[in-house]
Chain A
């Protein structure tokens, strides 16, 4: 099996962001699963599928970037699986929260949502409205016996409710 040729890097040109073409092109891959950050290492090639600049670490033997390879990975056995599953997970979580605007913001296609070259977490406006929820959680993590019903409580088992 032959490896497809790596797309050439444009020699010059004004950089247009972390993934832009230019002498100082940086890897545009978004790393992490929950703590998202741009890779930012010097780019060595461009992904033939999405044309983003990628560093050697995020470029596989088939020249595809980790994210494009992850999209093809079906199982966690593939090291690139997290890159593909991140998108699936965030898209599915929109249905969990009943909102289609929150988690998709974190995706790589909205790279402008993150500060250039950063991605570090910062302060958010509206700070302490969470304080009302302080204290230990009341999520019922101890066995409270409240759900000991089910099919056992239906007649015929010979059990006596105590």
Chain B
């Protein structure tokens, strides 16, 4: 009745875990091993915390936990991993741009348009091969509001939103690491560039832009965009490489 067990369980959670449940956002840089503990806590949140007020946003389990688990595998336990996440959604006042009017014609009486930019996941990881990986997932939403007058004289307000998702991954290679364009090229929707810096480092960037899918597809998109950067630095092959029968 008085949530004593819930409160005890709540107090045992990692501070970032509590912050994500309360504010639906956090920003921190921690050793990779500590993120792994946090990911375990986030993954079991629904089993330990049932109070509605402390419910996690859905993307915490569907996107944040898998991303943390994957990056943890490629990092040394003490390597720093920075994560900034904001899972409040795109259409919140502080993410919106300027409101601008639209030219309308009858039956519309007035219209306005506003763009929201929502960088809801930013990650910076120092991988165990010496490269630095940066990942950004940004939703851009165009919101149009129309005021219409029907023939019967009713006034109606309509709101339409068109979300677009941009996933951008950047990998800064250590000095001297060679790159080679992979044989099967990246698909057209995945733009990749390699840039040689003056300090001897190579920077690989991959960007994909498309409609915002359901969240269970986001992790696939994130891993595909990120994985493209690792095709440019293939591992050494032994002389005889048996192919697996498919």
Q: Which residues of A does B touch, CB under 8 Å?
A: 31-37, 75-77, 79, 81-82, 85, 89, 92-93, 96-107, 109-110, 112-115, 118-127, 129-131, 133-141, 143, 147-148, 150-152, 157-160, 162
Size bin of chain B's contact surface: 35 or more
Q: Are A89 and B223 in contact (CB under 8 A)?
A: yes
Chain B 173-194 near chain A by CB (<8 Å), digits 1 or 0: 0000111111111110011111
Please pick, from A115, A133, A143, A150, the residue contacting B181 in the complex, using a CB distance under 8 A. A133
Contact B237 A113 (CB under 8 A): yes
Is B172 part of the contact surface with A, judged by Cβ < 8 Å?
A: no
Whether B196 lies near A79 (C-beta < 8 A) is: no
**Measured CA separation A160–B101 after assembly (Å):** 11
State the CA gap A114–B236 with chains docked (Å).
Answer: 7
- Chain B hits for A133, CB < 8 A: 181, 192-194
Q: Is the interface of B mostly helix, strand, loop or mixed?
A: mixed
In Å, the complex CA distance between A152 and B159 comes to 11
Q: How far is the CA of A96 from the CA of B220 in the complex (A)?
A: 11
Q: Whose C-beta in chain A lies nearest to the C-beta of B208?
A: A139
- Contacts A110-B241, A124-B234; A77 near B220 (Cβ below 8 A): no
Assess whether B191 is in contact with A140, with CB atoms less than 8 Å apart: yes
Q: How far is the CB of B36 from chain A (nearest CB, A)?
A: 8
Residues A102 and B43 in contact, CB atoms below 8 Å apart:
no
- For the complex, is B78 an interface residue (Cβ under 8 Å from A)? no
Q: Does B107 contact A (CB under 8 A)?
A: yes
Q: Bound state CA distance, A141 and B140, in angstroms?
A: 11
Q: Which residue of B lies closest to A136 (CB)?
A: B193
